[in-house]
Amino acid sequence: MVAMMKLPRVAERSTGVPHMRLVTDESTGSGAERRMFPRKSVSLEARGRRLDHSISARRSPFLSWSVRDLSAGGLSAITSNPINPGERVNVTIPDNGFQQGWDALGRVIRCEMSSMGYRVAVEFDRVPLAA
């Protein structure tokens, strides 16, 4: 049996700058997504800031997240506050002594109630590839 690898497609924005995106697996017919970046299970605390101007975002602009998994494309975390899908957020991963901290901008893909609060999925903004 021979296995063939599919290379991910790289789309171009109207500016002509290529960027990475999620692709679907057409071979199975299920439409299941294949992630561009591998997820890593982690257990760390992160800070968030809501960037939208909605009433709920203005009432509680700062978030505390317990990150469950992380990749170059996004994260999944537990928070005590519900966040609207599509809402813009700034995520700050603090310095942990071994690795330098970093910031990312993104948008909420989904927010679902769970037994520990709200499980939030964030997709980070795409960064253009270097020329």
Task: Give the structural domain span for 57.
Answer: 40-124
Whether the predicted pLDDT of 38 surpasses 70:
no
Q: Which residue has the tokens 């709920």?
A: 56
- Domain count along the chain: 1
Is residue 19 included in any domain, yes or no?
Answer: no
Query: What CATH number is given to the structural domain containing 47?
Result: 2.40.10.220
Average pLDDT, the chain: 77
pLDDT tens-digit readout, 90-129: 999 888 777 788 899 999 999 999 999 999 999 999 877 6
Q: How confident is the model at residue 44 (pLDDT cuts 50, 70, 90)?
A: confident
